[in-house]
């Protein structure tokens, strides 16, 4: 893992691929324990674009029948959240009476998760669980419980394994941290 440059910023190694995969294995194990006896077909809701890689890895490990759909929302511009959620692509599946698992790449303030969970419940979901690869616990401002958390991280800007900096950097297998924040980790 070497330092990388994305646009005008440098990023340094933070979480190696092996640690990410181990966390995904653990999260998948917990989800499997909760849903292995499922009589229904839960809906896995991938939050685009950042969660694509995480969702793909997670889906390969799920041992129960499930359905996959995607929704795209955005609240980031550059390296910080705008605090305003912009729904770009909506849910296309009928969720009425169904259980859903929202799969996010990262949860920080929690504004996106609350909005998504409420939208799914308003659409008639019988239950909505939340799964995130990364969790910035120190800045989380919501009362909604996260059901499945891969890795807890400090409130630093990161890229890789699906996460981006102005749409680039998603394709690295490791996760990198902004170089100027490295010493404060």
- 124 Cβ partners below 8 Å, 6+ apart? 95, 96, 97, 98
Q: Out of 8, 25, 33, 108, pick the active-site residue.
A: 108
Q: Which residue, 136, 73, 87, is CA-closest to 107?
A: 136
Per the CB < 8 A criterion, the answer to whether 9 and 174 are in contact is no
Whether 115 is a known active-site residue: answer no
First-to-last C-alpha distance (Å) of the chain? 17
Q: Which residue, 76, 178, 69, 49, is CA-closest to 120?
A: 69
Tell me which residues are annotated as active site.
108
């Amino acid at each position: 893992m070497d330092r990388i440059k994305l646009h005008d910023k440098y990023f340094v190694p933070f979480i190696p691929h092996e640690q990410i995969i181990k966390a995904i294995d653990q999260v998948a194990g917990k989800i499997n324990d909760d849903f292995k006896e499922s009589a229904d077909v839960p809906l896995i809701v991938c939050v685009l674009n950042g969660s694509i890689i995480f969702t793909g890895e997670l889906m390969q490990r799920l041992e129960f029948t499930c359905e996959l759909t995607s929704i795209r929302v955005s609240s980031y511009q550059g390296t910080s959240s705008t605090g305003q959620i912009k729904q770009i692509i909506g849910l296309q599946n009928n969720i009425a009476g169904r259980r859903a698992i929202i799969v996010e790449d990262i949860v920080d303030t929690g504004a996106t998760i609350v909005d998504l969970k409420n939208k799914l419940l308003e659409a008639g979901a019988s239950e909505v669980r939340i799964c995130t690869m990364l969790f910035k616990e120190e800045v989380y401002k919501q009362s909604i419980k996260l059901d499945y958390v891969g890795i807890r991280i400090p409130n630093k800007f990161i890229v890789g394994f699906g996460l981006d900096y102005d749409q680039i950097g998603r394709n690295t297998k490791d996760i990198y941290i902004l170089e100027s924040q490295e010493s404060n980790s």
